[in-house]
Amino acid sequence: MDYNDQMKNRVKRIEGQLRGILRMMEEDKDCRDVITQLSAARTAIDRTIGVIVSSNLVECVQKAKENGENTEQLVKEAVELLVKSR
């Protein structure tokens, strides 16, 4: 699978968020603020997982259709990946 620049940029933003959270912890910032930022990072990770799984699914389904294969199993696997990530 090709990971496009949009996907990579999402991960880079998350990386920046995590560095910021670590800095907040080192500066003994309020627990609520740290948790808020951790929650935001988790949401960003969840959305990135969704983007990657959906892009991969589209790519795999297109290839399967070209080869005359059944796509039902591909969809099941994608759903399992999303469920597992939660």
**Topology, domain 5-85:** Methane Monooxygenase Hydroxylase; Chain G, domain 1 (1.20.58)
pLDDT, tens only, 52-80: 888 888 887 888 878 887 788 878 888 88
Give the pLDDT of residue 6. 93
Please give, one letter per residue, the 3-state secondary structure of 3-38. Answer: CCHHHHHHHHHHHHHHHHHHHHHHCCCCHHHHHHHH
Give the pLDDT of residue 77. 82
Residue 79, CA distances (Å) to 44, 73, 82 in order? 19, 10, 5
Output 71 or 40, whichever has higher pLDDT.
40
Asked if residue 41 has pLDDT above 90, the reply is yes
Give the pLDDT of residue 64. 80
